[in-house]
Structure 1
Amino acid sequence: MFFSIIIPLYNRPQEIKELLSTLCKQTYMQFEVLVIEDGSVNDAKAIVASFENKLDVKYFYKENSGQGFSRNFGFERAKGDYFIIFDSDILVPSDYLEIVKDYLFEHQLDAFGGPDAAHDSFTPVQKAISYAMTSPFTTGGIRGNKKHIGQFHPRSFNMGLSREVYEKVGGFILTRLGEDIEYSIRIHENGFKIGLIPAAKVYHKRRTSFKQFYKQLHFFGRARINIYKHFPSELKAVHFFPAIFTLGLGFAILSNIFYKPLAYVCNFFLLLYFLLIFFHAWQVNKSIKIAFLSVIASFIQLTAYGFGFIQDFVKRVLLKKRD
């Protein structure tokens, strides 16, 4: 089984260096790497070239078109039996391809995804963000979880598909705003089998600051409405939770200003919820500091996603405006 690893890249030369370094350590070496530089100003050509004696790696530079269409550019040039998509901000465990190969031989999936986790080298903020995106007490718990809700939709930071899927379904038709979920839905609709490979995890850095994390999650909230516009049935009750939390938070703030008796009730439940997150994060990461930061990260995740969701729900669903 031969894999083609496709990595879109935009102004992140240091990230691709770290990612390629982990790919050099794979225990299964039947793969090529295609790095697609998506119109970057700060390109990584020299860095990628430094790996040519260690990996079967190819570098392409193209005009900026976004991550989805950059992956299509890689699909068109890939030689593998399976295409694996990575984001540039991940680290890959040395046994990743070995795990995927063995699982695919046994289960014969047409497309797959894997979970993500925090690496020991990550900063406390990165570990807190990772917790917020994977915790059962935030919406992140449905990502890469064995007990996912409804159909499993691989996410593009860790996603694979067979050449047969690409030849029948084609590539991405969206380049951003939920393009991976839209693609997964079309793969499902064409009768292909998609599954989670639980052990095929990657270490996902995500964002290095809470400000960057807020921007990313606000974008994710908007992306969910974009998916809804293409596939209305894919908007589930769980997707409303961050918006409900955000509206509830606003209600709690108003209660503290105008009606104290109700404010006491709101404050009690908010405190209880964040204490639950704190103690669970403390148990997971064995660090009080990361537990405290995890409360902040969870708050940012819910409100940023909630604001993005509400913004585009009002604009595109209620008012029926287009971007």
Structure 2
Amino acid sequence: MRLYSVVIPVYNRPEEVRELLTSLLDQTFKNFEVLIIEDGSTNKCDQVVEEFNHQLNIRYYFKENSGQGFTRNYGFKKAKGDYLIVFDSDCLIPNHYFQTVDDFLEVNSIDAFGGPDSAHPSFNTLQKAISYSMTSPFTTGGIRGNKKHVGKFHPRSFNMGISRKVFEETGGYRLTRMGEDIEFSIRVINAGFKTGLIESAYVYHKRRTSISQFYKQLHFFGRARVNVNRFFPGEMKLIHLLPAVFTLGFIGWLSTYLWSDLLFKIGGLTISFFFLAILIHSSLKTKNIAVGFASICTAFVQLFAYGMGLITEKISPRGNQPFAQK
């Protein structure tokens, strides 16, 4: 029977860790260990972990702050499993997750995998809207958790598994933040390892719980995409540039108010149709019109923040110098 090692980097989020560990108690497949790696937190979760000592095969480590990428490497070195699985601390894990993964690996020989993220019924309206916008065809092209995405599947570190051989041959993460999971996935594929999406191995990803936090996160994601392209020129695809096109187009549309009433009205009508499509699609998908209206806001924030991050990083003084290389 395969042993899975769950590596969870944590920084000042004890209550999230409690929720995540609680969700792991109900797994139908039990042959896994959990490694909580505290990345120099001041608000530690060691006491939370102690509450689960007799219910889970769990270990706790504290280390100096070095960012999530190198913290995952730290956990990989301590892990005993055949497969190493990474979750973000703000995830909840459905009780079938490990059984689904194990069943898939019984009939499919892959070296690295990932699964989608979804919204838990307990999530509030904003969290559901954020979950929608992060997976919507109108904002991401449906490339997250979709077999029909562009190019080979690149697992993301909020829900990702690798074989021990992958870690031993690649050395794990070379970046600690700023696109570290994308850079790692590209190296895994370039090394000849086979990757795959396990559609049913989804997690409930709570993500940011305020618009300002969501903006900061997506702005950082935009910067990260540019950083990855510094390591691997050509990895910046057209679909990654669309948020920047949206951002520049939106700013350009606002400027037409000063010199062309006709263009301002045409642009306003185009934007209205776009967000009307999001309202309808989100409302139907979530079966909640309140989430549909909130999705207009989160979709705008996602596109604008990602676009601004991409633009500002592209013109930054760093030029072609990658950020946070080991």
Which range, TM-score by smaller chain?
over 0.9
Secondary structure (helix, strand or coil) at the match of 1:233 reads: coil
Secondary structure (helix, strand or coil) at the match of 1:234 reads: coil
Q: Deviations over 1:4-51 (max 9, x none)?
A: 000000000000000000111000000000000000000000000110
Find the counterpart in structure 2 of residue 104 from structure 1. 105
Q: Which has the higher helix share?
A: 1
Find the counterpart in structure 2 of residue 245 from structure 1. 246
Q: How does 1:285-300 map to 2 (within 5 A)?
A: 285-300=286-301
Find the counterpart in structure 1 of residue 146 from structure 2. 145
Q: 1: CA distance between counterparts of 2:172 and 2:321?
A: 27
Secondary structure (helix, strand or coil) at the match of 1:42 reads: coil
Find the counterpart in structure 1 of residue 24 from structure 2. 23
Normalised to the residue count of structure 1, the TM-score between the two structures is: 0.98
Q: How does 1:1-323 map to 2 (within 5 A)?
A: 1-139=2-140, 141-315=142-316, 320=320
- Does the CA contact (< 8 Å) of 2:27 and 2:98 recur in 1? yes
- Does the CA contact (< 8 Å) of 2:230 and 2:322 recur in 1? no
Q: Deviations over 1:220-278 (max 9, x none)?
A: 00000000000012110000000000000001100122211111111111000000000
Amino acid in the other structure paired with 2:61? F
Amino acid in the other structure paired with 1:66? G
Runs of 4+ in 1 over 6 A off after TM superposition: none
Secondary structure (helix, strand or coil) at the match of 1:232 reads: coil
Q: Deviations over 1:49-106 (max 9, x none)?
A: 1100000000000000000000000000000000000000000000000000010111
- Does the CA contact (< 8 Å) of 1:133 and 1:140 recur in 2? no
Amino acid in the other structure paired with 2:286? N
Secondary structure (helix, strand or coil) at the match of 2:147 reads: coil
Note closer, same or farther for the CA distance 1:166–1:290 as it changes in structure 2 (3 Å cut).
Answer: same
- Does the CA contact (< 8 Å) of 2:159 and 2:203 recur in 1? yes
Q: 1: CA distance between counterparts of 2:124 and 2:238?
A: 33
Q: How many residues align?
A: 322
Among all aligned residue pairs of Structure 1 and Structure 2, give the percentage whose two residues are the same amino acid: 54
Note closer, same or farther for the CA distance 1:321–1:162 as it changes in structure 2 (3 Å cut).
Answer: closer
Secondary structure (helix, strand or coil) at the match of 1:142 reads: coil
- Does the CA contact (< 8 Å) of 2:39 and 2:68 recur in 1? yes
Amino acid in the other structure paired with 1:174? L
Q: 2: CA distance between counterparts of 1:149 and 1:284?
A: 23
Q: Deviations over 1:113-147 (max 9, x none)?
A: 00000000001000000000011111162111111
Q: 2: CA distance between counterparts of 1:322 and 1:170?
A: 18
Amino acid in the other structure paired with 2:42? V
Deviates more, 1:152-161 or 1:251-260: 251-260
User: How far apart are residue 286 of structure 1 and its match?
Assistant: 1.4
- Does the CA contact (< 8 Å) of 2:86 and 2:160 recur in 1? yes
Question: Which ranges in structure 2 are unaligned for 5 or more consecutive residues?
Answer: none
- Does the CA contact (< 8 Å) of 1:132 and 1:140 recur in 2? no
- Does the CA contact (< 8 Å) of 1:316 and 1:322 recur in 2? no
Secondary structure (helix, strand or coil) at the match of 1:141 reads: coil
Q: 1: CA distance between counterparts of 2:131 and 2:240?
A: 19
RMSD: 1.1
Secondary structure (helix, strand or coil) at the match of 1:139 reads: coil
Q: 1: CA distance between counterparts of 2:322 and 2:30?
A: 46
Question: Which ranges in structure 1 are unaligned for 5 or more consecutive residues?
Answer: none
Q: 2: CA distance between counterparts of 1:81 and 1:240?
A: 38
Normalised to the residue count of structure 2, the TM-score between the two structures is: 0.97
User: How far apart are residue 313 of structure 1 and its match?
Assistant: 1.0
- Does the CA contact (< 8 Å) of 2:119 and 2:127 recur in 1? yes
Note closer, same or farther for the CA distance 1:115–1:57 as it changes in structure 2 (3 Å cut).
Answer: same
User: How far apart are residue 322 of structure 1 and its match?
Assistant: 7.1
Note closer, same or farther for the CA distance 1:143–1:74 as it changes in structure 2 (3 Å cut).
Answer: same
Q: 2: CA distance between counterparts of 1:303 and 1:139?
A: 13
Deviates more, 1:294-303 or 1:185-194: 185-194
- Does the CA contact (< 8 Å) of 1:315 and 1:321 recur in 2? no
Amino acid in the other structure paired with 2:193? F
Deviates more, 1:44-53 or 1:256-265: 256-265
Secondary structure (helix, strand or coil) at the match of 1:7 reads: strand
User: How far apart are residue 320 of structure 1 and its match?
Assistant: 5.0
Amino acid in the other structure paired with 2:230? K
Amino acid in the other structure paired with 2:103? D
